[in-house]
Amino acid sequence: MTEATCHVHTPYGDVIGHRDGTVVAWKGIPYAASTGGEHRFKAPRPVEPWSEPKDCVKFGPVAPQGLDNPVPMDPDTPMSEDCLSVNVWAPEPDGTPRPVMVWIHGGAYSLGSSAQTVYDGRHLAELGDLVIVTVNYRIGAFGFLDLSSFSTEQTEFDANVGLRDMIAALRWVQESIGAFGGDASNVTLFGESSGGASVTTLMTSPATEGLFHRAIVQSAPATSVYGQDRAAQVAARFLEIVDVTPDRIDELKTIDMHRLVAASDTLCYDVPARVPGTLGLAPVVDGEIVPRYPVAAFQKGFAHRIPLIIGTNHDEASIFRLMKSPLMPVTSDTVSEMFRAIANDHSDLPAFRVAEIMSAYPDRSKTAGALAMSRDAGFKMPSLWIADAHSRHSPVWMYRFDHATPMLRAARIGAGHATEIPYVFGNFGTLNRDPTFWLGGRKAAMAVSARVMKRWVAFARHGVPATLDGAKHWPKYAEPTRATLVIDGQDTVVDDPDGDLRVAWGDRVLGFS
């Protein structure tokens, strides 16, 4: 080992890490084999061991996806179906086992990469003296299109291969993280948006028993998991888009990757445009990896009994209005259409229940009311349903992230979806011409970030988001008080915030399962 590098021996071969501040970073470590050709739409396969040390100085390839999207990507990072890799940041291994945090990125199951600068794990690893792992997994049609209804004797397809990738990465952590100084018996799985919903889904999967021991869920659309009939309809639509008939299904293994990416992008936006409030590509209840609808599984006590932090942002839907994205309904018309679809799909749902919920938003005909309804349907209520159910047998801490810089408030984004991520990782200024601090607010944001990072780290280390010196104590969440940490310039604890809306919605997983 030289002063700038660190060699580590894993079960699959040696990897060379490089000094990054006071920690070492290993980027682009493969945890499974290539997913191209014959292995498209199939469960991940073990990676082939390598004999020569692998220099892990660069991120692995980005999972196939369209590049015309709002996610900032390094143009020098290639795109490939050989994309199943992890990145590790850790203090130089010294024989001391350290807690491990494994990050699942978001992006509506169709966008994003562990190589995004905002997910750089250096600051968390340095602050917490722990090991950070970020995971690349298949997204879009490559990861969340369920073609199993079109399987033949010659061509078989697996469901939920994106989730299967995450499980393979968690197994890699169990096998390999000790070499990086990580404690495989103390793993916290955390994620945001579809990454957060992946965490809640994996918490209900028998396949992940014992693979992680705590969970942090940020802004999860946890009810965006669908049944097999709906999955078959989406798959049929995909075949129409890519112009492949069911009798030629095996051609999917040889079609150019970029043609599939284009079809995936079309499907990703086509489905929510047709049925507001739904995602085109998402996990499926397959009876194996996902045996039940996750929120219902929580309510029936089937989730892994581990400590959980879960929460949402105050203004989740604002960013979708700004981007004019169909991924969330953000107008009065599309929100009303979402509720009509819910009523039509559930004949056992009394019309007065839908009316009660809608009446809880007196300004629903205005933008602010529509955004609030969309936020609550997509993020707030699923998180509350999970917190209520899980707190009946396991420790839960609920938060609401309210902090916004003056510029984000002026832009009417506020504490929008994903705006908490820089505070969690301590990484600001990762967007091109980042406007976050154009009107000031950096000092206050840094103070908020320091508290968030310390709470997340304490939870990963001890299973409790320990009280900080001079900071507000964060009590456990439990019925009926439902204590919630409101994260802002000064943190506060509020019992059952927006309780009137919670009561209006009730505890039924309305329309999403």
User: Is 316 designated active site?
Assistant: yes
Angle, CA 421 vertex, CA 417 and CA 426 arms, to 5°: 155
Residues 148-201: pLDDT tens digits?
Answer: 999 998 889 999 999 999 999 999 999 999 999 999 999 999 999 999 999 999
Quick one: which of 245, 183, 243 has its CA closest to 214? 183
Q: How far is CA 212 from CA 165, 242, 455, in A?
A: 15, 38, 19
ω into 72 cis (within 30 of 0): no
Quick one: which of 503, 300, 224, 502 has its CA closest to 381? 502
- Choosing from 114, 316, 318, 420, the catalytic residue is 316
Residue 325 has a pLDDT of 85
- Choosing from 113, 114, 176, 193, the catalytic residue is 193
Q: Do residues 15 and 53 make contact, with C-beta atoms less than 8 angstroms apart?
A: yes
Residues 191-240: pLDDT tens digits?
Answer: 999 999 999 999 999 999 999 999 999 999 999 999 999 999 999 999 99
- Choosing from 114, 403, 417, 420, the catalytic residue is 417
Residue 353 has a pLDDT of 78
Q: What is the pTM of this model?
A: 0.96
Over residues 115-127, the mean pLDDT reads 97
User: Is 462 designated active site?
Assistant: no
Residue 421 has a pLDDT of 98
Question: Which domains does the chain carry?
Answer: 5-505 (3.40.50.1820)
Residue 348 has a pLDDT of 62
**In whole angstroms, what is the distance from residue 145 CA to residue 385 CA?**
27
**In whole angstroms, what is the distance from residue 353 CA to residue 400 CA?**
26
Asked whether the predicted pLDDT for residue 513 surpasses 60, the reply is no
Q: How far is CA 38 from CA 109, 151, 449, 511, in A?
A: 22, 14, 45, 37
Quick one: which of 501, 304, 454 has its CA closest to 390? 304
User: Is 417 designated active site?
Assistant: yes
User: Encoding tokens for residue 370?
Assistant: 């529509």
Backbone angles phi, psi at 345, to 5 degrees: -80, -15
